[in-house]
Structure formats: structure tokens, C-alpha cells
Amino acid sequence: MTPKFIMRNDPNSAAVAANHAVWEAWTPHHFTSAGYDIPSFKAGREPLDPITLAGVGDVAGRTLVHLQCHFGLDTLSWARRGATVAGVDFSATAIAKAREVAQEMALPADFVCSNVYDAKAALARQFDIVFTSVGVLGWLPDLEGWARVVASCLKPGGRFFIFEAHPTAFLFDQQPPAGMRLMYPYFARAPLIEEETGSYAALDSGTKVTCHSFAHPLADILGSLLRAGLRITTYDEYPWLRWQGLPWMTRRDAYFWELPAEFGEIPMMFALTATR
């Protein structure tokens, strides 16, 4: 279906409600998918990539909250490394699955079902580290509110880390044989609405959903954190993705996909650390 645009919405909008329905539909299929491979995670597989591990650093004895945690595999990875963890997600199905895995693995973790914008009130405490995984910002209509939540969840001197897709990664037509044809505007000020069958982790699930994705220029991402009172201490860019975002990308290693050499190096991900 040809994508269409609507006006940007607030955190309580119909677009956010529609995305909530997406994640409720996807979660049962993700939980049993080969992509998430929960059996190997339980056996000790590390889902956190080397850039994330280096960026967050030693978490032993620290408190850490993972915003938009899905069913918490990354959250529980930090628990295995010695952090006292909490995970927040708006999908009740995902939170129930996260609690199930934590109980089975005997890992202490507090999983809270909440819209990310209400995380401060839902958690009612602050943390040494606020962490977000890959693929979260595109679901958020309001970065200013999100950044305020990040800041409010941090203790004074606390640290925020995000490793996320760079805005340029979403500019290209994803269907072959388009090559690297530009398709989407960088400064899109309205969400993209797309009908999808299946999901990124369960292509053959048959689920039919309507996704509302929000494009955020880099200036909005950085600016929202600065306006929330955070100090950006590190920023890096990478020509790789954590998933095969374009059909012609090939595996770089166990964690990343890269473009063929003829396309050159385009920023595909960024990592950022900020302190309160």
C-alpha cells in the first residue's frame, strides 16, 4: 500500500493507540520467533552488541531502567551483569512475557507496564543509568516529552545511553531494484502510516497492523535532550545497522549489517551518552 501522512499527534493520540495495538499483536509472535531466540538467551547468549556494552560500561551495583523494553531481553542482560534493573513498556503482553522470563531465569527485575511518557510516575524513583535499545524513537510522537522523562528518571550525575538508527537510515526506498533511491523526506513533520503484514521479527506471522512511524531529524533528537537539561558527553556515528534495513545489506558480523562497498559509508546508527 502507498504510505500516507497525517498530522503529528500528541502522546495520547489515536496514532499512539494504534501503535499500542501493533505491539500487542506482534509480541506473541516475537516471543516464539527465531529472531529473538529466547531459548539461546536463556542458555547464555548475549543480545547486547559490543557498542552498547562499551557505551553503557560496567553496571555492577548500579540501578538501571530500560525504557521501551519490549519483553525485556536486553533488560535482563543488564541484570545478568549485576545491575538492579527495571523495564518499562506500554504492552501488557510484553511485560507479562518479561516477567515470565525473569522468573524462569531467577533474575531479579521490576517490569512496569506504562506509556513511556508516564514512566516517571509509574516508576516513582530515579536511576544511575537510563538505557534505550535500538528501534524506539520512531514510535514516539513527542521527543521533548520523552527527553524530559529521560532526565527525570536519572539521579543527579546519572547517565543516559542510546544506540539507535540514524535518521538517514530511513530515507531510502526499501524495495529492490530501487538501489539507494531517496524516497522519504528528512524533515518529515508528520507520521508515516503504513499497513504491514507480519513483523520485522516474524515475517510469516500473518498479523495485519497499521503502523504510525515518526521521523526525527538529528537536531530534534540532540536538541530535546539538551533542552531537558542533559549534557551530551559522547556522540558517535556508524555505517551499520542492527538489522537488514535494506535488502542489499549483508552481514558484517553477528550483530551488524552493512551496505556493499559501492554505496559508500552512510551514517546508519548513532550512539549517544548524556549526563544529568
Residue listed under C-alpha cell 531494484: 177
Degrees to nearest 5, angle at CA 99 with 96 and 104: 125
Of the candidates 180, 193, 184, 200, which has an alpha carbon nearest to the alpha carbon of residue 246?
180
- Sequence-separated (6 or more) residues with CB below 8 Å from residue 179: 248
Instruction: Please write the tens of the pLDDT for every residue from 14-37.
Output: 889 999 999 999 999 999 999 999
Give strand pairing partners of 232: 274
The phi and psi torsions of 275 (rounded to 5 degrees) equal -125, 155
What is the C-alpha to C-alpha distance for residues 80 and 91, in angstroms, rounded to an integer? 23
What is the C-alpha to C-alpha distance for residues 56 and 24, in angstroms, rounded to an integer? 29
Instruction: Please write the tens of the pLDDT for every residue from 122-157.
Output: 999 999 999 998 999 999 999 999 999 999 999 999
In single-letter form, the type of residue at position 221 comes to: I
The phi and psi torsions of 20 (rounded to 5 degrees) equal -60, -45
DSSP 8-state symbol, 175:
S
Kindly give the confidence (pLDDT) of every residue in the chain, 276 residues in length, as a single tens digit, with 9 standing for 90 and above.
223 323 333 555 788 999 999 999 999 999 999 999 999 999 999 999 999 999 999 999 999 999 999 999 999 999 999 999 999 999 999 999 999 999 999 999 999 999 999 999 999 999 999 999 899 999 999 999 999 999 999 999 999 999 999 999 999 988 877 778 899 999 987 889 999 999 998 888 899 999 999 999 999 999 999 999 999 999 999 999 999 999 999 999 999 999 999 888 999 999 999 999
Grid cell digits, residue 14: 489515536
Of the candidates 234, 218, 222, which has an alpha carbon nearest to the alpha carbon of residue 171?
218
Of the candidates 117, 161, 171, 122, which has an alpha carbon nearest to the alpha carbon of residue 139?
117
Domains of the chain, earliest start first: 4-37+48-275 (3.40.50.150)
Per-residue CA distances from 246 to 171, 178, 251, 264 (Å): 11, 10, 12, 14
Of the candidates 115, 101, 141, which has an alpha carbon nearest to the alpha carbon of residue 23?
115
- State if pTM tops 0.95: no
